[in-house]
């Protein structure tokens, strides 16, 4: 396992982190707690020390599962969770990053997680109805109190981060980033680099597209979020799968690897990426991790990857 640092803290995160959105069950076709617990323990065995969760994942269920898994491991884990989203009884989600909401959510998260501190606490989404000053000062207060060890923001623009940093320390930024979703490279990641923020990028495998396990016959069920994601609707789904097939061929020919290894190494060799968050809810989904540390993606290969994606999708 490779490790990095978070400037302004003593934290040393593994460069691969476990994302737990799917473990929560909602929007992923249900949950299996025994498999989830085994997955988290498999992550620990693989050298992963970053566990990323949020109250919104399964309406708190993901945090509860993580809390159970942390028993006996808490002092060896860098735990990240979030605040600022509300799930309403009608199924709608709204943004609320008010100070009162942030304080309440942290206390509730600590209870679910069975701990008295969080290593990285993030504002999940910017809330334009709450003054940035109020949100940032609330986070700064929690940081000073020791309840959180680092402050982060997720899905913020550079302008929003700059405004936030007027009122509070900022250590971590969390944008989506993978071979198919590269918008963060235009502004968010350069901002993170220039301001020494550790980027915890999420959706490493683009919701499973880059796992190499999907085919044109793959079907999603229930409330699976991919049922409404345009990437997974035909004919676009077929175009993405064609790109995956070409990327897989390159990985096999050049390195004796598969596309899942290439997708992860592509992230780890991106200069602005500190931690790549890998979502999993079954232990076997973490098996490819060990294959991502004995090769590198150079600039020429990065250009080839861009060309393939441009041609296919």
Looking at the annotation, which residues are catalytic? 57
* Whether the Cβ atoms of residue 64 and residue 112 lie closer than 8 Å to each other: yes
Neighbouring CB atoms inside 10 A of 219's CB total: 6
Q: Taking the alpha carbons of 9, 11, 15, 16 in that order, is the dihedral positive or negative?
A: negative
Phi-psi region of 82 (alpha: psi -120 to 50; beta: other; left: phi over 0): beta
CB burial string 84-121: b at 16+ within 10 A, e below: bbeeeeeeeeebbbbbebbeebbeebbebbebebbbbb
CB burial string 275-296: b at 16+ within 10 A, e below: bbbbbbbebebbebbebbbebe
DSSP, collapsed to helix, strand or coil, labels residue 217 as coil
Q: Using CA atoms, how far apart are residues 195 and 140, in angstroms rounded to an integer?
A: 18
Neighbouring CB atoms inside 10 A of 145's CB total: 10
Q: Partners of 120 in the beta sheet?
A: 80, 150
Residue with tokens 């020791």: 146
* Whether the Cβ atoms of residue 170 and residue 257 lie closer than 8 Å to each other: no
Output the CA–CA distances (angstroms, integers) from residue 149 to 199, 202, 207, in the order listed.
16, 20, 29
In DSSP notation, 269-280 reads TSTTEEEEEEE-
């Amino acid at each position: 396992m490779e490790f990095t640092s978070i400037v302004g803290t003593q934290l040393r995160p593994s460069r691969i982190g476990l994302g737990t959105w799917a473990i929560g069950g909602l929007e992923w076709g249900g949950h299996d707690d025994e498999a989830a617990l085994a997955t988290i323990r498999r992550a620990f065995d693989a050298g992963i020390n970053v566990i990323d969760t949020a109250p919104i994942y399964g309406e708190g269920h993901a945090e509860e599962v993580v809390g159970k898994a942390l028993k006996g491991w808490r002092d060896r884990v860098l735990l990240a969770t979030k605040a600022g989203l509300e799930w309403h009884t009608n199924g709608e989600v709204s943004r609320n990053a008010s100070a009162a909401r942030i304080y309440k959510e942290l206390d509730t998260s600590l209870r679910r997680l069975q701990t008295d501190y969080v290593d990285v606490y993030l504002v999940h989404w910017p809330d334009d109805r709450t003054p940035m000053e109020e949100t940032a000062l609330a986070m700064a207060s929690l940081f000073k109190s020791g309840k959180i060890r680092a402050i982060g923001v997720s899905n913020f623009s550079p302008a929003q981060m700059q405004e936030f940093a007027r009122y509070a320390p900022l250590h971590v930024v969390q944008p989506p980033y993978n071979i198919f979703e590269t918008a963060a490279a235009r502004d968010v990641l350069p901002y993170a680099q220039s301001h020494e923020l550790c980027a915890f990028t999420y959706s490493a495998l683009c919701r499973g597209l880059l796992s190499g396990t999907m085919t044109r016959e793959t079907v999603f069920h229930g409330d699976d979020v991919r049922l409404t994601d345009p990437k997974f609707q035909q004919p676009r789904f077929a175009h993405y799968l064609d790109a995956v097939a070409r990327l897989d061929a390159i990985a096999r020919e050049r390195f004796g690897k598969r596309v899942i290894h290439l997708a992860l190494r592509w992230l780890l060799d991106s200069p602005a990426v500190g931690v790549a968050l890998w979502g999993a809810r079954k232990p076997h989904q973490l098996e490819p991790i060990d294959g991502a540390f004995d090769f590198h993606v150079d600039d020429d290969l990065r250009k080839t990857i861009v060309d393939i994606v441009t041609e296919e999708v």
